[in-house]
Amino acid sequence: MNDKKVVWNGSEQPEALKVLSASGGMIVCPTKVGYIIMTSDKEGLERKFEAKKRNRNKPGVVLCGSIEQLKSLAQMTPEIEKFYQTHWDEDILLGCILPWKEEAINNLPSNGIKELMMDNRRTSCFVIKFGKPGEIIAKSLWEKHGKLSFASSANPSGQGNRGLVENIGSRIEEYTDLIICANDYVKSIQPNETEKTRYEQGVMISMVDKKGNIVPEQQKNRNITPCPVLIRKGLDVDKIIKILSNTFNSWDFRHGDYY
């Protein structure tokens, strides 16, 4: 262990909250599908983009530590709320691309953060149930410090970390303030998979049309367009497809569509 690395304590990690509650903090945190970079403000996002050399045209990833936080930030129809709630209750990792609520956008500082955390359609990917280490941090940041949590995979763009902290790459290790190590936790989520067969990402579903407008309610009607589109396979995709089919009569599968 170097001075940046700590072993996850199984609960709220005080070192992480100290870093992310301050300006420009950036950590590496374990999730259900590997390690991510977590930041909480514009300065931290700038550091993340620099560390990853990441393309800025993709929707930002917003980590929600509670359903209440999700509801306060994202536009949703009752059907989409129900869809999220089912995944929350069953502890299933889910990310959906949604528009921001206007009041949530208006509460953001006017320092350029909006351009870094959403795409040009003013949408982001709002993620729940991504793993206890980060969920606890995101919930505390929101409830105790009024700060958001943003994420990106902790590895050079286009490469995976295979759920091992050793694979986050030297550049990210150099840039980050703190690294929470929990290889055993990551492995426990997919215990029967190998480093080559395990999912390294969560399922992503677009709940907006090409212009970023939220899809209409279906109310059990058929042949509704635009409709939810599953644009990225990932952990528990079979479970999510079942819930998707039970919630929406019309939905589409286009892996990689947005990217």
Q: Which residues pair with 153 in a beta bridge?
A: 36
Give residue 15's pLDDT: 96
The stretches in the chain having pLDDT less than 70 are 1-2, 54-59, 157-158, 259
Residue that is written with structure tokens 């129809």 in the block: 77
Report how far residue 95's alpha carbon sits from residue 89's, in angstroms, rounded to the nearest whole number.
Answer: 15
**C-beta separation of 4 from 28 below 8 A:** no
CA-angle at 92, arms to 199 and 73, nearest 5°: 110
Place of tokens 């599953």: 230
Predicted local confidence at residue 158, as pLDDT: 66
H or E element that contains 178: strand 178-181
At residue 1, the pLDDT reads: 54
**Phi, psi dihedral angles at 69 (to 5 degrees):** -65, -45
Q: What is the CA radius of gyration of the chain?
A: 17
User: What pTM did the predictor assign?
Assistant: 0.94
Quick one: which of 184, 137, 181, 106 has its CA closest to 20?
137
The pLDDT value recorded for residue 69 is 98
Given phi > 0 = left and psi -120 to 50 = alpha, else beta, which region is 49?
alpha
Q: Say if residues 127 and 7 touch (Cβ distance below 8 Å).
A: no
- Give pLDDT, residue 145: 94
pLDDT digits (tens, 9 = 90+) for 112-130: 888 888 888 999 999 999 9
pLDDT number for residue 58: 65
What pLDDT score does 168 carry? Answer: 94
Q: Taking the mean position of all CA atoms in its chain, how far away is CA 246? A: 24
What is the structure's pLDDT at 27? Answer: 98
